[in-house]
Amino acid sequence: MVSVASLWLPILVSAGIVFVVSSVMHMVLTYHKSDAGPLPDEDGVRDALRPLDIPPGDYVIPYAADSKEMGSDEYTEKVKNGPVAFLTVMPNGALGMGKSLALWFGNSVVVGALAGYVAGQALGPGAEYGAVFRIVSTVAFAGYSLAVLQASIWWHRSWSYTLKTMFDGLVFALLTGGAFGWLWP
């Protein structure tokens, strides 16, 4: 058994590698540009929403407070007539990336720590690269990718978005497994 504390180096190195590679993937490769598109008459929609002063948060249109309301004729008519949408409202102002980048790095540390924990329970010190790589990559893939499926299943995000994001997660998982295999105590 290998403790998570003794895996601090591969955890941080893998998080750093994932951070850099994910930045390059999003800045250089263009396959995520189609993840979201413009609304028809975006300015008109913005002008209609602005006076409502909607606080930051997640919303659904039309909204039903419970399943009874969801079964009502009025709600059914609203759904039939549309639009039906999920809406995320963010705070006004610059979309500062600092906080998101810090949270992304922290997420990568957590994924690495969890993958390291599982591998540490299954393997001892001096385990072979291939065994470490397989276990860590598998757990890291689960951490980076599987929850993304819910975005398409429940929130109707495009399957294209979900599959591209899961591909990213596979790349991050393989890099994480490689770092752990390389730096395993």
* pLDDT tens by residue, the chain, 185 residues: 999 999 999 999 999 999 999 999 999 998 999 888 999 999 999 999 999 999 999 999 999 999 999 999 999 999 999 999 999 999 999 888 999 999 999 999 999 999 999 999 999 999 999 999 999 999 999 999 999 999 999 999 999 999 999 999 999 999 999 999 999 99
Residues 138 and 158 grouped into a single domain: yes
Q: Which residues contact 167 (CB under 8 A, 6 or more apart)?
A: none
Residues 177 and 129 grouped into a single domain: yes
Residues 28 and 68 grouped into a single domain: no
Residues 100 and 73 grouped into a single domain: no
Residues 57 and 117 grouped into a single domain: no
Residues 117 and 176 grouped into a single domain: yes
Tell how far CA 71 is from the center of its chain. Answer: 32
Residues 179 and 125 grouped into a single domain: yes
Residues 126 and 176 grouped into a single domain: yes
- Could you tell me the residue range of the domain that residue 65 belongs to? 42-89
**The residue type at 126:** G
Residues 116 and 59 grouped into a single domain: no
Residues 19 and 70 grouped into a single domain: no
Q: Alpha-carbon distance 118 to 181, whole Å?
A: 14
Q: Which residues contact 3 (CB under 8 A, 6 or more apart)?
A: 120
